Structure 1
Amino acid sequence: MYKRFISFLCIFVLLVPYSVYAKNDNITAEKAIVIDKTTSTVLYQKSSDCKCSMASTTKIMTCLIACERLNQNEVVEITNSMLEKTEGSLIYLKAGDKITVSDLIKGAMLASGNDAANALAVYISGSLLQFVKLMNYYAQKFGLSNTHFETPSGLDGKEHYSTAYDMAMLTSYALDNEVFSQICKLQKAEIKINNKPQTIYNHNKLLYQTENCIGVKTGFTKKSGRCLVSAYDYKGNTIIIVTLNDCDDWNDHKKLLDYAKGKYQTLSKTQGIEIDCVGSNKKKIFCTASFDVSYLDKLSFKLYYYPILYAPILKNTKVGKMEIYSNNKLIRTVDIIAPESVKVWQTTTK
């Protein structure tokens, strides 16, 4: 472990303020939001706290719970109770079919299979009703105060609703789950039902059309209209976009992504640190931490390194670390290195 020799804060404040109310009148979504995942900073919002149905984006919660609670290799035998109240998008499961948990999650996330979502729900909780209680427990746990679930699939219910803001925060939590994040960005997947392989394709066109899109979920019902949640890796940052009831969602997400990118600043720098050295003819070693980081508002740095280094030291030896924060949230960690070798001090005997 490094001794915390110094907590050195360098704060860079952007001089150009920005508003979360985008000057983009071409967004057709009824509700929308864009957030930076790491800092939870809202980059754009439009009626983002208004409750409405959210269609199959509901499956983000269903599949997150399955990722957290189940072994991906478990085999599920489909029952009649799992197929109740399934209509719309399906992967066409039948009672008696056998399929792994992993393939059910893929079927729900990529092909938006309502039968796959319900199968996961009943397998986890024994019934749809009990699983819905679990979904609402998670909503409360995540602080989604304007969200209430009635179905695992996203089919409409009288008390099935969320907001653009809550869906963005749910997605932020879901992307922290490695299994979920790997599945939701797949353009296609091979699943097996009764050991018979079939290929399913992701309904999210942005995975094909937009660079660095990393998921996450589409949705549609007559009541909710077109719903879409997408996420992007942008220079080490994750941008999450949610639109609800949006007849032009593909284009709106592209516009909102471009808008969000314009909010980030970039800083490239090499920070020098002098560290005392023992056992060499050099009393101090000039070490460096180099970084190229995109950020929103202000940066602060914390440096952790050994207060004294002992020769010999090889070139590029890691001697500490630099933590980089934006709005007090850790966004990057880089190594502090010794850029040159240091030999042990030697005396000459006659």
Structure 2
Amino acid sequence: MVSQSSAAELNIDNVKSAILVDADSGMVLFEQKSNEELPPASMTKIGTLLLIMEEIDQGRLSWEDEVTTSSEAAGMGGSQVYLKQGEKMTVKEMVKAISIASANDASVAMAEHISGSEEAFVKKLNEKIDRLGLKNTQFKNVTGLSESGHVSSAFDMAMLAKELLKYEEITAFTGSYDDYLRQDTDPFWLVNTNKMIKSYPGADGLKTGYTSEAKYCLTATAKRGEMRLVSVIFGAESSKERNQLSAEMLNFGFANYVSETFNKKGDILAEVSVDKGTPEKVHAELSQSLKVIEKKNEHAEYIRKVSIKKHLKAPIQKGDVVGEVHVYKGDMEVSKGLLVLKKDTNRATWSELFTRTWKKSFFAN
């Protein structure tokens, strides 16, 4: 990923680090010290929310599951919704508390519910970060409270945001300016810590952060038309400054770039052979729309390359990743997507394999 701009085009020298990326392709449109390791404060919760959404997507967690608050979760300081030990809330309510109010107590409660302890959840989160290839992030907790060695970078945070935004439901939470918990008993008003939700057209997330060490941080996202951008600010001097500079970066992106859909989610881009499978050949489709972002009026030429995993063996389930598609502008990769199996491929029976072998031998002669 190559920066398409220079720091001279945006005056954001007052912050420690910054980046602007296209949320679909991951292309970097602007960056300033984007790989510097810094404390991310509550932007950490982008990672926490990512694992929660994965658990829901994979069916191991549902929105209506009840989560019981432990004494440790109830004792968390900082931003919180004042959960009491033994208090129960649904996953949906907990995610609402994390997304809108940046609740540390809800973050720890969810980590314990999913992994048994915050430590086990953090281990899983760092393993996810490693799989994503993010080199400048190491989390020590799920809240972002200051802790030695708890670091990330603007680039890594943008990539975590990109992953989280694949779950379209999340912006229903992060894009809500206010809401309530405990409506039937003791109503608790939640107000979004991200004021850009109200002030910036198209903004619907994603996460603020502040500690005395990290200063004011913000991972913001906004969508206009088909284009969604993510901006990240580390180390602004005030919440007003972080909002203003985030808006300037987003304005720069929307004013100078346009998003084009190269292929839509579900488009069939290959037919794959599955060893000992029935059917033997199955279509592979895009798991997400494949988009490119380019400067307005550029009209560049692109090349698409499809690669399929070798030695695919049955059984393979619908939705399993079987390949990748890459889009290039010249020698530079500008977008990529995953190819998944369109339907289940079961293991062929002995008689099917015998018949298949006989036909190949007969027609070969």
**TM-score, normalisation: structure 2:** 0.68
RMSD: 2.8
Matched, 1:254 2:240: no
Alpha-carbon distance in 2 for matches of 1:229, 1:50: 16
The structure that has the greater radius of gyration is: 1
Does the aligned pair in 1 maintain the 2:100–2:174 contact within 8 Å? yes
Among 227, 245, 257, the residue aligned to 1:237: 227
Any idea what SS the aligned residue of 2:120 has?
Answer: helix
Runs (5+) with no aligned partner, structure 2 = 56-60, 261-291, 305-326, 338-365
Aligned equivalent of 2:23? 37
Does the aligned pair in 2 maintain the 1:184–1:214 contact within 8 Å? yes
Distance apart, 1:178 and its partner CA = 2.5
Alpha-carbon distance in 2 for matches of 1:19, 1:200: 38
Aligned equivalent of 1:178? 168
Q: Read off the aligned partner of 1:226 and give its amino acid letter.
A: Y
Task: Tell me which protein shows more helix as a share of its residues.
Answer: 2
**1:134-174 residue CA offsets vs partner (Å, 9 max, x unmatched):** 11011112221110000101101111000000000000000
Aligned equivalent of 2:190? 200
Question: 1:299 and 1:199, CA in 2 relative to 1: closer, same or farther beyond 3 A?
Answer: farther
Any idea what SS the aligned residue of 1:110 has?
Answer: helix
Larger RCO, structure (CA 8 Å, separation 6 or more): 1
Aligned residue pair count = 270
Question: 1:193 and 1:157, CA in 2 relative to 1: closer, same or farther beyond 3 A?
Answer: farther
Matched, 1:75 2:66: yes
Question: 1:91 and 1:193, CA in 2 relative to 1: closer, same or farther beyond 3 A?
Answer: farther
Matches for 1:123-202 after TM superposition, within 5 Å: 123-192=113-182, 196-202=186-192
Any idea what SS the aligned residue of 2:205 has?
Answer: strand
Q: Read off the aligned partner of 1:33 and give its amino acid letter.
A: I
Matched, 1:109 2:111: no
Distance apart, 1:264 and its partner CA = 1.2
Does the aligned pair in 1 maintain the 2:158–2:231 contact within 8 Å? yes
Distance apart, 1:21 and its partner CA = 3.2
Aligned equivalent of 2:274? none
Does the aligned pair in 2 maintain the 1:98–1:194 contact within 8 Å? no
Matches for 1:272-311 after TM superposition, within 5 Å: 295-296=294-295, 298=300, 300=302
Aligned equivalent of 1:263? 256
Aligned identity (percent) is 28
Alpha-carbon distance in 2 for matches of 1:265, 1:60: 26
Alpha-carbon distance in 2 for matches of 1:138, 1:182: 24
Aligned equivalent of 1:51? 37
Does the aligned pair in 2 maintain the 1:189–1:200 contact within 8 Å? yes
Aligned equivalent of 2:52? 66
Question: 1:31 and 1:266, CA in 2 relative to 1: closer, same or farther beyond 3 A?
Answer: closer
Alpha-carbon distance in 1 for matches of 2:26, 2:234: 19
**1:270-311 residue CA offsets vs partner (Å, 9 max, x unmatched):** xxxxxxxxxxxxxxxxxxxxxxx9743625599xxxxxxxxx
